[in-house]
Chain A
Amino acid sequence: MDQQLQNGSEFELDLGWMEKQGEWGVHAEPSKNGLTLADIQVGGYADAPDESRNLSGKPRGAVSRPGSMPIGNYTVRTKSEIWLENASFLYEEALQRQWSSATDIPWDTIEPLPDDVEQAQCQMATFLTEVEFVAGDVPSRWASQMSPDFYEARNVLMAQVMDEARHMDVFRKRALANGGGLMRATGATAGFVGGIDLARDFTEMSSRLHLSGEGAVLTIFRMGELMAYNDAEKAIYRLCAQDEARHVAFGVMHMRYMAANAPERREEIDSYLDEAEAGMLTDAANPAGQLNQTSESLSIMLGGGRKYFDEGFRKLVSIRKRQLQEYQKRVISAGFGERFKNGRSRLHDMLANVAN
């Protein structure tokens, strides 16, 4: 060390690195939304490679050191496995729309509710607290395995992890804010084969988490006005729906990219969709599904009390239909609409049997 420092009264500089820098002369220009990720897609810095050979965590476009070690050990290194066209937009929107469950929810609008309604609210809040974190933990784990050359997609997942932390806490807050408490967990996200946790392929995971799982939850959050009893609950559902819409969009856009760029994987993806459809109403992770713990509490919330259970249940049936219809639209948008025409999808039968 000392050797490098000594040179008369001045430090000697090597400066060889100045010759080894990346593409030079880049002027990204801010647009009307500030300087966004889309605005910095300039020159060679815009191109995510089809196959990433970056194993050391260097930022995309920086020059590799010949001696760097492959410490990243990334398992996701193929662009089509993770990419989507509008990641930059989804990420920037996520940052603009972050909210605080402590201060953006008008908690003081909550007033005591009849015991049956409060119990239903608390049961649903318990369930949501439980499932929200699968949607945080799983993308988090995948982000750690993804080449940073695909940082735009990785960034969206990191914003999702943050969103889900907030969802988990906003429902816990709801359960403890109004004279209730937490109730019974469901085990809906346990380690079952075919569960979100266990998928060993990113697209398989995304089809289950983003497209069917969060898609179903999004339909319910969008109907939040129907099961809210005060402005606090309305705000919770509205803000969560905004976040979920981005998560679902990630799944749809990723699948669309996959359909266009990896046609050899179409059949495999159709198999994931077969599974997703089969589970949509039976899966405990769908709060409007057939698990009585959640479907009954939702019915009480929708009806307006135990006394109005029948009315609530009929609304629930209508919501289930909507879930399936919205799912269908998303799959069509993702480029897999053929399955609804060629008889592969069971959706038609399911729509006829939503009340069961």
Chain B
Amino acid sequence: MATAKDADRVRPALTLSKEEREVEVPEPRLNWMNQSREWGIRVKPGKKGLTLGSLNVGLYGEIPMNWPDRTRNPRGAIGVTGSPPVAIQIKDKVDLWAPCAADLYEEAIQRRWAPATDVDWTAIHPLPEDVERAICQVCTEICQYAIIDVEVITSWQHQMAYGYHEVKQFLATTSLDATRRHEAFRKRALVNGGGLGYEGPCQVSRLLLESRGGWTETVTGLTLVRGLFTQVMIRYLTRFAYNGVERKIYECVTQDLARLLTYGIEHIKYALGHAPDRQGSIFTTLAIGMRMFNRDLRDPVLREALAIIFGGGIPGARNEGMHVFYEMLDEYVQELLSACQYLRLPVTMEQLPRVLQKDQRHLPGD
């Protein structure tokens, strides 16, 4: 065992002035010593290193259902009392928890990327103008989604109790992910002779920013409406990518979004499992979300831009491209319904807007 003296010997010296060497030293009070709720914890690194989740041992692993303390007392420390509180509103575990948050946090860090250097920006070549315009338009709308994601997540993070630090920390990774998403798509829009496009419609974004009453409801919109749709759209964009730049961006963004979706779905599951009476408000939020999504879908811009990308240009957009667009919507609906099934939310195809119902849709040539 290293002794204090050994330790002192190996540590570098700080050269003190004569004045500093003569400083009169007050008698220490040491009233903070021997004060711990649990001592003797030695967490060892595992094969993924020393992870956040692995710290949850003994008393430090006790995560209560309610955390009334509105200070920044770390969970497991001896708290201070009598401090004016900070603005924490979410104090119940059911309102934010997902058991996977700590693991997702570490995964986000392991899978970090930098659009500047992880994308080979030279792997791009001029595209026909209609295709470039369509790609730039889609980039613009994804940038706007990402900007709103940042604003939504950051407006909640500080309101969450410190007892649930795993979730707060995970959310810090998601707002950086969204920041990077904005960055990557902006870079793509400006690198190949194009530019940014026309601003997207705002109804789903409005839902996300205006659902201030509950984080779980915000997560419902962020995950099941905006997130899942974006994920499916990026999957289709990957399939129809025109170059390595796009493929790489889509690949990295897909990973980032997958973590947000996992947290979101697992949080809703946790909330429903521990407070079944929340089902009504989650269901209603989703129904409102579908109405907002329907309004956004009425706007032709994203639809046409995607169809041009999928169809290889304007002529192809009028046929194949638009059919692929609807195929993409159907895939979104399938994923939405299976997520709802997993969450035991009684959502059926018939409850969705008509544009999302394959059987209700009349396409040219039908």
Contacts and interface: CB of A to CB of B under 8 A. Distances in A.
Nearest to B39: A181
Interface stretch (B181-189, B264-272, B334-342): B181-189
B32 A58 contact: no
10 contacts: A9-B364, A11-B317, A22-B140, A102-B48, A113-B7, A114-B1, A126-B74, A130-B74, A144-B152, A313-B23
A159 B183 CA distance: 12
Interface string A4-22: 1111111111110110111
Interface in A134-191: 134, 136-138, 140-141, 143-145, 148, 151, 154-155, 158-159, 161-162, 164-166, 168-169, 172-173, 176-187, 189-191
A355 B12 CA distance: 22
A334 B302 CA distance: 45
Nearest to A137: B158
A239 to B, nearest CB: 12
Contacts of B93: none
B109 A166 contact: yes
A122 B115 CA distance: 38
B79 A5 contact: no
Contacts of A207: none
Interface in A194-222: 197
A286 interface: no
A103 interface: yes
Given A181-B39, A184-B77, A304-B7, A28 B197 contact: no
A123 B41 CA distance: 14
A253 B28 CA distance: 39
Interface in A340-356: 355
B20 A59 contact: no
B190 A102 contact: no
Interface stretch (B84-92, B224-232, B252-260, B283-291): B84-92
A190 B29 contact: no
B85 A123 contact: no
Contact of B114 (A8, A30, A95): A95
A164 B202 contact: no
> Which 3 A-B residue pairs are closest in the complex by CB-CB distance?
A304-B8, A305-B4, A190-B83
B117 A33 contact: yes
Interface of A: 1-2, 4-15, 17-18, 20-28, 30, 33-37, 40, 42-43, 45, 56-59, 61-65, 68-69, 71-73, 92, 95-96, 98, 100-103, 105, 107-108, 111-114, 116-117, 119, 122-123, 126, 129-131, 133-134, 136-138, 140-141, 143-145, 148, 151, 154-155, 158-159, 161-162, 164-166, 168-169, 172-173, 176-187, 189-192, 197, 223, 225-229, 292-293, 296-297, 299, 302-310, 313-315, 317-319, 321, 355
Nearest to A126: B77
B198 A62 contact: yes
Given A63-B198, A68-B199, A182 B362 contact: no
Interface stretch (B172-180, B213-221, B236-244, B344-352): B172-180
Given A159-B176, A307-B4, A107 B50 contact: yes
Contacts of A20: 197-198
- Interface centre among B8, B79, B209, by most chain A C-beta atoms within 10 angstroms, is B8
B1 A112 contact: yes
Given A17-B301, A140-B172, A177-B50, A37 B117 contact: no
Given A34-B115, A229-B7, 17 more contacts: A6-B364, A13-B317, A18-B130, A21-B197, A21-B198, A28-B191, A33-B117, A59-B143, A63-B196, A113-B7, A114-B4, A159-B179, A161-B175, A187-B83, A197-B86, A292-B29, A314-B16
B73 A185 contact: yes
A11 B364 contact: yes
A176 B55 contact: yes
B64 interface: no
Contacts of A155: 179, 183
A57 B121 contact: no
Interface string B305-323: 1010000001001110010
A141 to B, nearest CB: 5
Contacts of B317: 11, 13
Interface residues of B, number: 137
Contacts of A11: 307, 317-319, 322, 363-364
B193 A2 contact: no
A108 B209 CA distance: 45
Contacts of B112: 95, 98
A137 B44 CA distance: 29
A175 to B, nearest CB: 8
Contacts of B192: 27
Nearest to A102: B49
A189 B173 contact: no
- Interface centre among A161, A178, A292, by most chain B C-beta atoms within 10 angstroms, is A161
B81 to A, nearest CB: 8
B205 interface: yes
B222 to A, nearest CB: 14
Contacts of A185: 71-74, 77-80
B195 A22 contact: yes
B192 to A, nearest CB: 7
B354 A1 contact: yes
Contacts of A305: 4-5, 7-8
A168 B165 contact: yes
B71 A190 contact: yes
A9 B366 CA distance: 8
B147 to A, nearest CB: 5
Contacts of B84: 190-192
A27 B193 CA distance: 5
Nearest to B22: A314
A257 B94 CA distance: 44
B275 interface: no
Nearest to B294: A1
A172 to B, nearest CB: 6
A226 B121 contact: no
